[in-house]
Amino acid sequence: MVKKVIFIILSILLTIGYVYAAAVIPPSRSPAIGTIEPIKKADRILILAPHPDDETIGCAGIIQDAVSKGANLKVVYLTNGDHNQIAFIVYEKRLTIRTGEFVHMGEVRRIEAIEAMKLLGVDSKKLIFLGYPDFGTFTIFREVWANRRPSKSILTRISSVPYKENFSFGAPYKGESILTDLENILRDYKPNKIFVSHPADVNVDHKAFYLFLQIALQDLEKEIPKPKIYPYLIHCVGWPLPRHYHPELNLQPPRKFLDSQIEWSQFQLTPEQLNKKHQAVLCYKSQTSSSAFYLLSFVRKNELFGNYPGIEVKKQGSLEKQSVSFFGFSNMFSDVGASNTSNKVDNVIEDKVQVSYGILDDNLLIRIYKTKELNRRFSIQLYLFGYSNKTSFALMPKIRIITKHKGLKVFDGRKNIEPKGVDLKLNSNEAVLKVPFKILGEPDFILTSIKTYAGALDVDTSSFREIDIK
């Protein structure tokens, strides 16, 4: 009981923080934005929504266009959104703490999704609700596979899908369950266009659905044609601005991604499509009761989609004689993006931290450029999820590395492991991590993300990127 109350209080404080950030962060400049490929009648479109309402605020225009052109369309919901307790306190005007109440929340949101999609012309038979734990799917992705016990939801204390109407009813909260469900849907439906939550989204379920999709598509590489992927962004601190309903405005990419490698494209809504999107958002009364100012800020003249290209790093010749120090090996690092330095970098993090990747012998190198001001108490949290065609993903290491100044710890899932061969070099301008491929399971590619800190202050988080090893 106490834990649930604490969780609710922390969530309220987090929401206040987002509102404050939205008020103080200036709007972005306007980068070049392309136009999304036109939808055709022959298309088989799959919308992947982490929660009920994401499909509407991110893709309502796309959904309407697909319906009007007679294209095949399905929507898959990863969770029922049963942990948005702040919204339900406002919506139902009572404190919801009992386990059954959270399941009730999820059922309310499922019904709202059916109503919203009906308004947009989508039959309920085209909707697939999985029902995995809201706020818990990223933890499952990084920790709960193979012989691990199923994850237990923070609020419901349930460890399997509780919704009898759902596609995944009774499935244990494990990585294999989600991956198997998604692969079965992909194998059966064979979509040629997939709209999915963005890997740079700060919401953990949004990250998770993107990651599960990448693994599923790789598993099915020889079984289904490769679809086009269109990630849509929902949660980014201080974005979009201005808040509230502004149908006269265009949605612009967040300021923090102006110098990134994201290839942005957009879909322009007609006035009729825009009006129906507005009505569909309002179908989610459980959410708009508390967050209309936020949800309605996505009801604009366009919808944005932006994908990152993969990062290709090639294995170099042996550099044993120089391996005492990694610094100065600028030729080792992949040319993967714009930078203010002589090397090209993957991600620019608020003009303070930059990241690039390279290979030295049988090790992955991650170079993190930073300002001297961040040197003291500088720390890192790095995720490295490797994929190998030779090993089931359930059995692959799920590596998390945490550094605190010059010290480090390595985890495989929840287990603290010996950091054999993992090394950290740190100076005033950069940190270089060396991670043996052996620890990563000798992968063919790696899904990785870095979060950086200055003491307890979160500097920023880089998006999940795919590193292809050649």
Angle between helices 99-119 and 285-295 (to 10 degrees): 70
Bridge pairing between strands 378-387 and 363-370 = unpaired
Please tell us whether the domain made up of 311-469 is placed in CATH 2.60.40.10. Answer: yes
Residue type, 234: I
Give the residue carrying structure tokens 């998770």.
208
Distance, CA of 313 to CA of 428 (rounded, Å)? 26
Predicted local confidence at residue 96, as pLDDT = 62
What is the CATH T-level fold of the domain 20-307, as seen in this structure?
Rossmann fold (3.40.50)
Predicted local confidence at residue 258, as pLDDT = 79
Tell me the three state secondary structure of residue 41: coil
238 neighbors 254 (Cβ within 8 angstroms):
yes
Q: How far is CA 389 from the centre of its chain?
A: 23
Distance, CA of 110 to CA of 71 (rounded, Å)? 24
Q: How far is CA 263 from the centre of its chain?
A: 16
Distance, CA of 163 to CA of 106 (rounded, Å)? 8
Tell me the three state secondary structure of residue 173: coil
Residues of the chain with CATH 3.40.50.10320: 20-307
Residue 211 backbone class (left: φ over 0; alpha: ψ -120 to 50; beta: rest): alpha
pTM: 0.87
Distance, CA of 366 to CA of 433 (rounded, Å)? 5
Residues of the chain with CATH 2.60.40.10: 311-469
- pLDDT, tens digit only, all 470 positions of the chain: 444 444 444 444 444 444 433 333 344 455 679 999 999 999 999 999 999 999 999 999 999 999 999 999 999 999 999 876 665 655 555 666 666 677 888 999 999 999 999 999 999 999 999 999 999 999 999 999 999 999 998 877 899 999 999 999 999 999 999 999 999 999 999 999 999 999 999 999 999 999 999 999 999 999 999 999 999 999 998 999 999 999 999 999 998 887 788 999 999 999 999 999 999 999 999 999 888 999 999 999 999 999 888 888 876 543 332 232 333 333 344 433 322 222 333 443 434 568 889 998 899 999 988 766 665 678 899 999 999 999 999 999 999 999 987 789 999 999 999 999 999 998 878 889 999 999 999 999 999 999 888 766 666 677 899 999 97
Predicted local confidence at residue 321, as pLDDT = 28
363 neighbors 318 (Cβ within 8 angstroms):
no
Cβ within 8 Å of residue 367, ≥6 positions away: 326, 333, 343, 355, 356, 357, 358, 430, 431, 432
Q: How many residues does the chain have?
A: 470
Bridge pairing between strands 415-417 and 363-370 = unpaired
Token pair in block for residue 31: 């980068």
